[in-house]
A and B are shown apart, each in its own frame.
Chain A
Amino acid sequence: MKKEDIKVCIMRVGGTNCDAETKRAFEDLGVKAEVVHLNQIIKGKNLLNYDALVFPGGFSFGDYVRAGAIWAKGIVAKLGRDLKKFVEQEKPVLGICNGFQVLVEAGLLPGLDGTSKYPQAALATNEPIGYRCIWVHLKLENSGRCIFTQKIPKEKVLRVPIAHAEGRFMFLKEKESEYLQRLYDSDQLVFRYCNEKGEYADGRYPVNPNGAFHDIAGICSPDGKIFGLMPHPERAYYGWQLHDWTRRTRVPEYGDGRLIFESMTEYLTKKF
């Protein structure tokens, strides 16, 4: 598939944000991207016309019940069959921030035994409590399963911002060690919070900005085609989006977030 033939669906509902930044990121890479409302997709029955799906960040449905819960259950109820086919066709699905919460609430991530009826993980209230909008460092943990990180050099420490109040990744307490082992065994761990030298946060705030178990910032499905992360790569796509760009003598053209969109695009061009 040629880059210009790729069509990405960026799904929107009331309260989503950064959909425009995500669209611009794909367009910069020469890929077509459309921001489409969930209701338009349900009405048009056209999810399968797209080659990739992105759940952007934001505060869908006002974060009522739990962040991402209402959107997730809406998708399961109204788009469940099409989404299942979409995933079976190995088309990539990316969830950023609120999108990650949606993928977890919908049972698509971690998906240890396939899509689960009830969530296998949670993105709980930040600890320390509060909405946090800061730049964090991420260490790539994946050994090659995740198709969204193929372009990232192995030892690279990425700098990307977060903006959330509910990002504390967790498993059921009694399943913590078993599920973590399974994440490692099936190469589903993608990003962990670390400092600028790449040393793990080890739960320490603010390097780990939300108290996430095992400093987990992002995970993928067992087949590596579904990926969710709390940080916002689309907010670190261009060099001028970096928080310290005015202090730099030379601003890089691109930020680290671009690597994720590049990887996704490369997968699509090679696979389809």
Chain B
Amino acid sequence: MKYHARVEVSLKPGHSDPEGETTMKALSELNYPVSAVTVSKVYTLRLEASSLESARQKVDEICKRLLANPVKDNYRFEIEEAK
């Protein structure tokens, strides 16, 4: 079975996000009423697995081993069967 996964990796709350803060400053200078900006990274994956559960396990492992550093990152993902 083929699956599509959308993984979002973001900084853990409380960790400073200089990219987000810099973006927020720029938006304030443009007079937008924005009070917080956080920057995340999105990966979209296409993968093969025997079941949805197995795909879920694989993607979770992928996140832990490569896409996120557990010291500073949180991750979440959505999976659906590829049409």
Residues of A within 8 A of B69 (CB): 66, 69, 105, 118-119, 122
Q: Which residue of A lies closest to B71 (CB)?
A: A122
**What are the interface flags for A99-131 relative to B under an 8 Å C-beta threshold, 1 for contact and 0 otherwise?**
000000100000000000011111011111100
A129: which B residues are within 8 A, CB to CB? 18-19, 21-22
Residues from chain B with a CB closer than 8 A to the CB of A70 are 66
Interface size class of A (residues with CB under 8 A): 20 to 34
C-alpha gap A208/B40 in the complex (Å): 26
Contact A120 B65 (CB under 8 A): no
Q: How far is B73's CA from A65's CA once the two chains are assembled, in angstroms? A: 12
Instruction: Tell me whether A65 and B64 are in contact (CB under 8 A).
Output: no
Instruction: Given the known inter-chain contacts A120-B71, A122-B72, A172-B71, please indicate yes or no for A127 contacting B18, CB distance below 8 A.
Output: yes
Docked pose: A118 CA to B68 CA in angstroms? 10
| Chain A min CB distance to B12 (Å) | 8
A171 proximal to B (CB < 8 A): yes
Q: How many residues of B contact A (CB 8 A)?
A: 16
Alpha-carbon separation in the docked complex, A121 to B19 (Å): 20
Whether B16 contacts A211 by the Cβ 8 Å rule is yes
Q: How far is the CA of A119 from the CA of B21 in the complex (A)?
A: 26
Q: Which residues of A contact B22 (CB under 8 A)?
A: 129
- Write out, one digit per residue, whether chain B residues 58-82 have a CB within 8 A of any chain A CB (1) or not (0): 0000001111011110000000000
**A127 / chain B contacts, CB cutoff of 8 Å:** 16, 18
Q: How far is the CA of A170 from the CA of B71 in the complex (A)?
A: 8
Q: Is the CB of B66 within 8 A of A173?
A: no
The 8 closest A-B pairs by CB, nearest first: A129-B18, A122-B71, A122-B72, A122-B69, A127-B18, A172-B71, A119-B69, A118-B70
